[in-house]
C-alpha cells in the first residue's frame, strides 16, 4: 500500500474563529496559519503567474481585517478557503501547507 | 443465558474468549475486538452466532466460519454444536462531512495509464461481481471519450429525472449512470469546464440511494475528469488497470503518482491481457510480455489484485452485454475477475479501518 508521509497527512484540523487554521500532523508537529498569511501565499492562478510562476499577490497587499469565512476539505488531499475579501480560488494541498508552515522550526 | 451441560456452564464471555483466537488476516486483529460477533444464542450445548464481516465479497469467509466453529468447539467445554451464520455490513470509512454523496459508503476509481487496456471491462466485471455477493453496488461510467459501459451492461433506455435527480438505470443488479447518456448518439465534444460540470452532476445529481460500493470508470490517463473526481468526493481508493507491456513502459506510473498526490490510496494493480492460451493446443503465449505488473506492484508496494488472461469469452460477453463474470463465471477470466473483486473488497475494508476522519473542527 502506498502511504503518504505522515508529515503531510493531518491528524486534526481546527479553525479558530477570526484566527486562522491549526493543523496537527500525523508526525506530531503542529502548524498554525493566520488568515492573512494564507491569503498571501494563495497558490491559485490569479495569485501566482501561470506562465512565469512568479508570485503576484503578497501578504503585504492584504488588508489587516482579512478573515477566513469558511473552510472545507477538498477530496482527501487539500483545504479550500473562502476569504472575506471575496477570494475563493485557492486549493491548498496538505503537502503545500506543510511546506509553508510558519513556525520557527520550519521557517 | 446459562445452561449446564455435563457440569460445564457455557456463558457468552467464555465463547467470546474462545473466539479471540480467530484473527481476521487482513485487519490483523481478532474477530471479537473487531466487533464482528453478533446475536449470540446459547441453547443447551448448542451455540449460535453471526460473524458480521466488513464485506460480503470476503474471500476468506469460509475459512473464518470454520475457524470460528472449531475455536468454540475445542475452546469451550460442554459445547456440542456450533452454528455460525456469516453476515456482512460494509463499513463506511471516516469521511469529511462536506461534499460526500449521501448514502454511498465507498467510492472506487478505476483508472489506467493509457486507453485500450480493458479498463471499462474490468470496472463492469468488478461491479457485477460485487453485486453478485449481495453488496449494493453502483457503476458510474465517467469516460467522456468513449463511454462503453451501457453496451457492456446491455442497459437500454435512458435515465429519467425525478424530483430534480437523475434516476440511475438498473442492469445486472447494478445501478448505472453513464456520461454517454448525456449526449445520446452524438460524441461528447467538451472543453474541461463542461466535463467538470457533467461529472459533478453524475456524482451528486444522481439518486444513488444506499450503496456499499460505487465503482467509477475513469477516462484513460490523467486529466480534468480525474481532478474533478478527487476534488468533488472523498475517493476511498483507486484500482489501476494495465497490460504487462504498459507497465513495462511505466505509463501507469503517472496515473499512480496522480492518485498519490491527491492522497487517494492505490488499492492495487490489475494486469489485463496477461497471456493468451491457445484453445487448440493449450500453449500459453505472453503476447504483451510477462510479469510487468508483478514487478511494478512490488516496486511500488501496491498489491497485485490479479491477472486476467486474454480470453475470447470476455469479448463475446462484453459485446452481448453480459459481463463474463456473470455470463461465464467458471471461465478462466470469470474466475480471475471473481478473485480480483474479493481481493479488492479486502483492501477497501483495510482502508476503512486505517483512515482517519478528515474534518475541520470549528472552535
Q: Which CATH number fits domain B104-354: 3.40.50.300, 3.40.50.20, 3.40.1390.10, 3.30.70.1290?
A: 3.40.50.300
- Nearest Cα neighbor of A67 from A21, A33, A19 is A19
Distance of CA A3 to the CA centre of its chain: 22
State whether residue B310 is helix, strand or coil: strand
> What pLDDT does B95 receive?
55
Q: Please tell me the distance from the alpha carbon of residue B192 to that of residue B169, in angstroms, as a whole number.
A: 26
DSSP B4-18: EETTEEE-HHHHHHH
Enter the C-alpha cell of residue B126: 468488478
Count of CB atoms situated within 10 Å of the CB of B171: 23
pLDDT of B294 > 90? The answer is no
Beta strand A91-93 with A78-83: parallel, antiparallel or unpaired? antiparallel
Q: Average of pLDDT values for B260-288?
A: 85
pLDDT of A61 > 60? The answer is yes
Q: Please tell me the distance from the alpha carbon of residue B255 to that of residue B271, in angstroms, as a whole number.
A: 15
Does residue A1 belong to the interface with chain B, where contact is any CB pair within 8 Å? yes
Burial class (CB in 10 A: 0-12, 13-18, 19+), B150: buried
Q: Which CATH number fits domain A6-99: 3.40.50.12780, 3.40.50.880, 3.30.2020.30, 3.40.50.10490?
A: 3.30.2020.30
pTM for this model (two decimals): 0.81
State whether residue A79 is helix, strand or coil: strand
Q: Average of pLDDT values for A73-82?
A: 90
Which of the four pLDDT bands, split at 50, 70 and 90, describes residue B292? confident
Distance of CA B37 to the CA centre of its chain: 23
Enter the C-alpha cell of residue B258: 496522480
Q: Average of pLDDT values for A34-61?
A: 93
* Closest approach of A70 to chain B, Cα-based (Å): 10
Compare CB distances from B302 to A1, A72, A77 and report the shortest one's residue. Answer: A1
Count of CB atoms situated within 10 Å of the CB of B257: 14
> What pLDDT does A3 receive?
44
**Residues A73, B360: C-beta atoms closer than 8 Å:** yes
State whether residue A97 is helix, strand or coil: helix
Nearest 10 degrees: CA dihedral of A89, A92, A96, A97? 130
Q: Average of pLDDT values for A74-92?
A: 92
CB B347 within 8 A of CB B267: yes
> What pLDDT does B254 receive?
81
State whether residue B172 is helix, strand or coil: coil
Burial class (CB in 10 A: 0-12, 13-18, 19+), B224: middle
**Which residues does chain B have within 8 Å of residue A91's beta carbon, measured at their own beta carbons?**
231
CATH of segment(s) B3-88: 3.30.300.130
Residue ranges covered by each domain of chain A: 6-99
Q: Which of A32, A77, A82, A98 to mutate to test the interface with B (most CBs of B within 10 A)?
A: A77
**How many CA atoms lie less than 13 Å away from B313 in the CB half-sphere?**
23
**A vs B: CB pairs below 8 A:** 82
Name residues 70-89 of chain A within 8 A of B (Cβ).
71-79
**Which residues does chain A have within 8 Å of residue B230's beta carbon, measured at their own beta carbons?**
75-77
Give per-residue pLDDT as tens, B349-360: 988 777 766 788
* Closest approach of A56 to chain B, Cα-based (Å): 25
Which of the four pLDDT bands, split at 50, 70 and 90, describes residue B248? low
Q: Please tell me the distance from the alpha carbon of residue B231 to that of residue A74, in angstroms, as a whole number.
A: 5
CA angle B227, B233, B237 (to 5 degrees): 80
Residue ranges covered by each domain of chain B: 3-88, 104-354
Which range among B140-144, B171-175, B232-236, B261-265 has the greatest average pLDDT?
A: B171-175
Distance of CA B52 to the CA centre of its chain: 18
Does residue B357 belong to the interface with chain A, where contact is any CB pair within 8 Å? no
Q: Please tell me the distance from the alpha carbon of residue B97 to that of residue B86, in angstroms, as a whole number.
A: 31
**Which residues does chain B have within 8 Å of residue A77's beta carbon, measured at their own beta carbons?**
230, 261-264
Give per-residue pLDDT as tens, B136-194: 999 999 988 878 888 888 887 778 888 889 999 999 999 999 988 877 677 777 777 88
> What pLDDT does B114 receive?
83
* Closest approach of A62 to chain B, Cα-based (Å): 24
Query: How large a percentage of chain B has pLDDT more than 70?
Result: 93
**Which residues does chain B have within 8 Å of residue A12's beta carbon, measured at their own beta carbons?**
361
Q: Looking at A61-65, B113-117, B215-219, which range is the least confident one?
A: B113-117
pLDDT of A4 > 60? The answer is no
Q: Average of pLDDT values for B332-336?
A: 92
Amino acid at each position: 500500500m502506498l502511504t503518504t508521509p505522515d508529515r503531510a497527512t493531518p491528524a486534526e484540523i481546527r479553525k479558530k474563529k477570526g484566527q486562522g487554521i491549526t493543523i496537527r500532523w500525523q508526525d506530531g508537529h503542529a502548524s498554525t496559519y493566520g488568515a492573512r498569511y494564507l491569503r498571501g501565499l494563495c497558490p491559485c492562478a490569479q495569485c501566482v503567474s501561470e506562465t512565469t510562476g512568479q508570485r503576484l499577490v503578497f501578504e503585504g497587499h492584504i488588508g489587516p481585517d482579512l478573515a477566513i469565512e469558511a473552510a472545507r476539505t477538498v477530496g482527501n488531499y487539500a483545504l479550500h478557503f473562502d476569504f472575506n475579501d471575496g477570494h475563493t480560488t485557492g486549493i491548498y494541498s496538505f503537502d503545500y501547507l506543510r511546506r509553508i508552515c510558519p513556525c520557527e522550526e520550519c521557517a | 443465558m446459562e445452561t449446564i451441560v455435563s457440569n460445564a456452564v457455557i456463558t457468552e464471555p467464555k465463547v467470546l474468549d474462545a473466539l479471540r483466537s480467530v484473527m481476521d488476516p487482513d485487519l490483523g486483529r481478532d474477530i471479537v475486538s473487531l466487533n464482528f460477533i453478533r446475536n449470540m444464542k446459547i441453547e443447551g450445548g448448542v451455540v449460535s452466532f453471526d460473524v458480521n464481516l466488513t464485506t460480503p465479497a470476503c474471500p476468506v469467509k469460509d475459512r473464518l466460519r470454520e475457524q470460528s466453529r472449531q475455536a468454540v468447539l475445542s475452546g469451550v467445554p460442554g459445547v456440542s454444536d456450533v452454528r455460525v451464520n456469516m453476515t456482512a455490513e460494509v463499513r463506511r470509512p471516516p469521511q469529511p462531512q462536506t461534499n460526500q454523496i449521501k448514502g454511498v459508503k465507498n467510492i472506487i476509481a478505476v483508472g489506467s495509464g493509457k486507453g485500450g487496456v480493458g479498463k471499462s471491462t474490468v470496472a463492469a466485471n468488478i461491479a457485477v461481481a460485487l453485486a453478485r455477493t449481495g453488496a449494493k453496488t453502483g457503476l458510474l461510467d465517467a469516460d467522456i471519450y468513449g463511454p462503453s459501459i451501457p453496451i457492456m451492461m446491455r442497459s437500454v433506455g435512458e435515465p429519467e429525472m425525478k424530483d430534480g435527480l437523475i434516476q440511475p438505470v438498473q442492469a445486472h443488479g447494478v445501478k448505472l449512470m453513464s456520461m454517454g447518456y448525456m449526449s445520446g448518439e452524438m460524441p461528447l465534444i467538451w472543453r474541461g469546464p463542461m466535463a467538470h460540470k457533467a461529472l459533478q452532476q453524475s456524482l451528486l445529481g444522481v439518486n444513488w440511494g444506499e450503496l456499499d460500493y460505487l465503482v467509477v470508470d475513469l477516462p484513460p490517463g490523467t486529466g480534468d475528469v480525474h481532478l474533478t473526481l478527487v476534488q468533488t468526493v472523498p475517493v476511498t481508493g483507486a484500482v489501476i488497470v494495465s497490460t504487462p507491456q504498459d507497465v513495462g513502459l511505466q505509463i501507469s506510473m503517472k496515473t499512480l503518482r496522480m492518485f498519490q498526490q491527491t492522497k487517494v490510496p492505490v488499492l492495487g494493480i490489475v494486469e489485463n491481457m496477461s497471456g493468451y492460451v491457445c484453445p487448440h493446443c493449450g500453449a500459453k503465449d505472453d503476447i504483451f510480455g510477462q510479469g510487468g505488473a508483478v514487478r511494478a506492484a512490488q516496486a511500488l508496494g501496491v498489491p497485485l489484485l490479479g491477472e486476467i488472461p486474454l480470453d475470447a469469452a470476455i469479448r463475446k460477453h462484453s459485446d452481448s452485454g453480459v459481463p463474463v463474470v456473470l455470463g461465464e463465471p467458471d471461465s478462466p477470466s470469470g474466475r480471475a475477475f471473481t478473485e480480483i473483486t474479493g481481493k479488492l473488497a479486502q483492501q477497501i475494508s483495510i482502508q476503512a479501518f486505517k483512515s482517519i476522519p478528515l474534518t475541520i473542527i470549528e472552535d
